[in-house]
Amino acid sequence: MIDTIPDILARIVAKKHEELARGVPPTGQWEREAELRLATRRDFRAALAARTPAIIAEVKKASPSIGLLQADFDPARIAAAYERGGASALSVLTDESFFQGSLADLQSARAAVSLPVIRKDFTVSSAHVLEAAAHGADAILLIVAILTERQIRDFREAAARYRMAALVEVHNRRELDIAIAAGSDLIGVNNRDLTTFEVSLETSLRLAEHMPAGAIRVSESGIHSAGDIAKLRAAGFTAFLVGGHLMKSSDPAAALRKLLSGRVAKNAIVLKICGITNQEDADAATAAGATAIGFNFYPRSPRYIAPERAAGISTASGVRRVGVFVNDSRQRVEEVVRIAALDVAQLHGDETPADYPATVAVWKAERMSRQFRFSDFKNLPAEALLLDGPAAELYGGAGKTFDWSLLDSTTPAAAGRRIILAGGLDAGNVALAVAVAHPWGVDACSRIESAPGQKDHKKMNQFLQAAKAALKV
């Protein structure tokens, strides 16, 4: 393996084996400590899936390619700044010989925040996996260039036993194929060429189409702007590991917020216009105050739009792109999500959580009736429930209202559920619907059209103004 990898990586790996050979690792002690930390492990993968884009902000003192990054290096202070800036997770370098890091850095950074932390090091032994678990890591890095397929699988499974995730890092198609064969579902593409140390986002873009369905895609290195993130998001990447750019900033929290300046505000009130089929209607909806626009990918809908056509309809920063699906496979949904650069999958069929895409938020649509019970959806892994009118023969929205008195201001909250109201809403009834049901957001389509898929801009504007007033936006 050493003979086939770049010189710097070969020297690092040789050093790791040399360190292991110096003495017998205290595996018994590490096992006990790892067991004690099980209850406090933080879910690294879930943190990346919870928002788009998700930033893994890196804490490192130095690197072989750049040298010293911060002389006054304080992992806890840096970690706290990253959390203030909106990071989803942290990466902490623990290699001592080449990066001047340590496991103490990881522990210090993790203790200062509530974020999950990945130990970024060069794992070549099961002892390294156990060591990471014993010292509080929530995830480990596995670099395909220095491991066999069997080692990747074994180390992933060992990490899982201690409730740690494993980010599997690749640099080219051959390594990606090995990662996939090893069962990896959290895959990072390192944009740095380990032979020349040159960095190019094209590495991620080239490999994007070969990524497996259901995997969380992480792009690593060379990310300096919100524009870089937008370009990578369009290729299907939802998480981004950023190190040197943040470490060299005098204000890392501000630098992180700038990177995220194009991020969709997931907690914003939802004012959604669905059934968008053209740029003119998308622009008019945004100008009138819509915070989300919907594309219908159900082939039997009169508002159906091909994913490639939806991809060509641009949206303003902060406006969520929602795709409507009916009983599509998870693989198909994730493919459309990638093509159309969606932020949310709105599922209108009989989908179960096993069908939910891993790469975006989910809004699960349900038809309202007197038999509906919030308790049936208490543990549903969806960001919101979208409640539509009862129309047993129709999927993807029927344009009919339901009895809003079936809801009240306490029921959704008691169920811990965000509610989006849909079904026959327009400027004339949205205020009453909001007053009765107290939703998180509202969704309009057929009542604000001049024809299916063609919005009446006057009706749309009136609806949005009435909805904003009712929801106190």
- 60 catalytic per annotation: yes
- Residue pointed to by tokens 């950074």: 109
**2-8: Cβ within 8 A, 24+ apart:** 5/145, 5/146, 5/194, 6/145, 6/194, 6/195, 8/64, 8/98, 8/194
- 190 catalytic per annotation: yes
Q: What interhelical angle do 149-161 and 173-181 show, nearest 10?
A: 50
Of the candidates 255, 257, 265, the one whose C-alpha atom is nearest the C-alpha of residue 52 is 265
- 221 catalytic per annotation: yes
Of the candidates 354, 338, 357, the one whose C-alpha atom is nearest the C-alpha of residue 346 is 357
Q: Exactly one of 63, 91, 184, 190 is catalytic; which is it?
A: 190
Q: What is the DSSP letter of 148?
A: -
Q: Exactly one of 83, 131, 175, 220 is catalytic; which is it?
A: 220
Q: Which helix (H) or strand (E) holds 279?
A: helix 279-287
Contact (Cβ atoms closer than 8 angstroms) between residue 252 and residue 84? no
Label residue 101 left, alpha or beta by phi (over 0 means left) and psi (-120 to 50 means alpha). Answer: beta
Q: What is the DSSP letter of 318?
A: T
Q: Exactly one of 83, 88, 91, 120 is catalytic; which is it?
A: 120
Q: What is the DSSP letter of 70?
A: -
- 220 catalytic per annotation: yes
- CB-based contacts of 457, cutoff 8 Å, min separation 6: 281, 284, 288
Q: How many CA atoms lie within 13 A of 469 on its CB side?
A: 12
The span from the CA of 11 to the CA of 146, in Å, is 11
Q: Exactly one of 83, 131, 169, 449 is catalytic; which is it?
A: 169
* Catalytic residue positions, numbered: 58, 60, 120, 169, 190, 220-221
